[in-house]
């Protein structure tokens, strides 16, 4: 293994568990300004002293600022490291870090504060190499989990030489360490129903049942589900809200569905499949959250090959179904690689964890990819 990778991989791993504990200790549900600002302060404390800290307006209104940690060098390459510090876990459900054997269990541990910790370690490793880059920037956003509108940072980093995202790492089907170079497009379809309320006992037929209309809409969406088809489209109803009392015909309600495909143009088929009216209730269907797909297999293959050679062990490119902010940058930064974080599991669940044994090997992989990208 390249000595620079070995030395700094060991150094990152030596601090990673304590740094992860500090970040996970702060509850940071999307939209919570105080939690995001507290986590940003921890990020600033863990960043190298040579780094410049900036605060950028978040893409989502009424959120805390996103955090940008920058190293400025004398070389020519520009590299973006990418992560997020928000979670889907509410304050009531927040779980600080604890150890269960090899598992470091805590809210947001694998999605993706573990990756944030490795990215900060990579920044510290690059301080002594200013001649290899003009700029290395770590962008940590605070709205990744629940962003509905557009992503506001793409233009700022357009033209950078590489984008490396530190979402959780994974193994390939054959057990080799893998990096994510292909992602499906993702979207959120929302259906709002407008009917008419009435007493469900004395006048049930005077009402127009929004819940039944939304149930029909859910069936229409599910009918588009075709994961083995040419578009690899998945269409899954996930949230339904309708009604306020057990004895009232629901007059309004909302259905939310998760859609994924190789191409986000496929989402229009799902929207079009929902009728405008069911049982007298009016349905309004729209695509409210959209993430582009990503396919960087060809452009990243030489860098991954060089990284594996520097490591002295195999690393392969792989695919993942989940969405990531890396996809937003892939169109303007062809060398975009994701999945550079530690391995773990249980994302978005109470048992979410990082595997402690993965911290050092995944730190080494991240360093090897950074080194190869700087030399590309």
Q: Over 90: is that where the pLDDT of 264 sits?
A: no
pLDDT tens per residue, range 2-58: 999 999 999 999 999 999 999 999 999 999 999 999 999 999 999 999 999 999 999
CB 352 within 8 A of CB 344: yes
Instruction: Sheet containing 344-345: give its strands across.
Output: 98-100, 103-105, 353-355, 344-345
**What tens digit of pLDDT does each residue of 150-193 get?**
899 999 999 999 999 999 999 999 999 999 999 999 999 999 99
Specify the pairing of strand 234-242 against strand 252-261.
antiparallel
Backbone angles phi, psi at 198, to 5 degrees: -160, 170
Q: What is the pTM of this model?
A: 0.90
Give ranges for CATH 3.30.70.360 in the chain: 190-291
**Fold held by 3-184+293-375:** Aminopeptidase (3.40.630)
Neighbours of 49 (CB within 10 A): 6
Q: Tens digit of pLDDT for each residue in 67-122?
A: 999 999 999 999 999 999 999 999 999 999 999 999 999 999 999 999 999 999 99
Q: So what's the architecture of 190-291 in CATH?
A: 2-Layer Sandwich (3.30)
Q: How far is CA 40 from CA 82, 117, 326, 340, in A?
A: 14, 12, 20, 21
């Amino acid at each position: 293994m390249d000595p620079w990778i070995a030395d700094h991989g060991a150094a990152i791993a030596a601090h990673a568990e304590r740094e992860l504990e500090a970040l996970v200790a702060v509850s940071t549900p999307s939209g919570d300004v105080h939690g995001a600002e507290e986590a940003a302060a921890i990020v600033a404390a863990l960043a190298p002293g040579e780094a410049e800290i900036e605060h950028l307006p978040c893409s989502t209104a009424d959120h805390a600022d996103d955090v940008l940690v920058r190293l400025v060098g004398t070389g020519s390459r520009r590299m973006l490291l990418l992560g997020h510090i928000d979670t889907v876990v509410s304050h009531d459900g927040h779980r600080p870090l604890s150890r269960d054997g090899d598992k470091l269990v805590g809210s947001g541990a694998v999605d993706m504060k573990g990756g944030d910790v490795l990215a900060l370690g990579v920044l510290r490793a690059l301080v002594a190499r200013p001649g290899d880059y003009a700029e290395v920037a770590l962008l940590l956003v605070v709205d990744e989990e629940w962003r509905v509108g557009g992503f506001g940072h793409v233009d700022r980093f357009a033209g950078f030489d590489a984008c490396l995202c530190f979402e959780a790492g994974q193994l390939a089907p054959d057990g080799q360490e893998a990096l994510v170079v292909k992602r499906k497009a993702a979207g959120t379809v929302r259906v709002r129903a407008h009917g008419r309320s009435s007493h469900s006992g004395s006048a049930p037929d005077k009402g127009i049942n929004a819940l039944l209309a939304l149930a029909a809409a859910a069936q229409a969406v599910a009918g588009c589900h075709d994961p083995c088809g040419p578009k690899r489209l998945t269409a899954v109803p996930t949230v339904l809200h309708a009604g306020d009392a057990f004895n009232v015909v629901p007059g309004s309600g909302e259905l939310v569905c998760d859609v994924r495909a190789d191409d986000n143009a496929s989402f229009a088929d799902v929207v079009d499949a929902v009728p405008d009216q069911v049982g007298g209730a009016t349905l309004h269907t729209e695509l409210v959250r959209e993430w582009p797909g990503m396919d960087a297999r060809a452009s990243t293959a030489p860098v991954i090959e060089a990284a594996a050679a520097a490591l002295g062990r195999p690393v392969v490119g792989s695919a993942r179904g989940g969405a990531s902010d890396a996809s937003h940058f892939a169109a303007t930064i062809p060398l975009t690689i994701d999945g550079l974080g530690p391995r773990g599991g249980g994302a978005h669940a109470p048992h979410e964890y990082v595997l402690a044994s993965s911290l050092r090997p995944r730190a080494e992989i991240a360093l090897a990819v950074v080194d190869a990208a700087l030399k590309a």
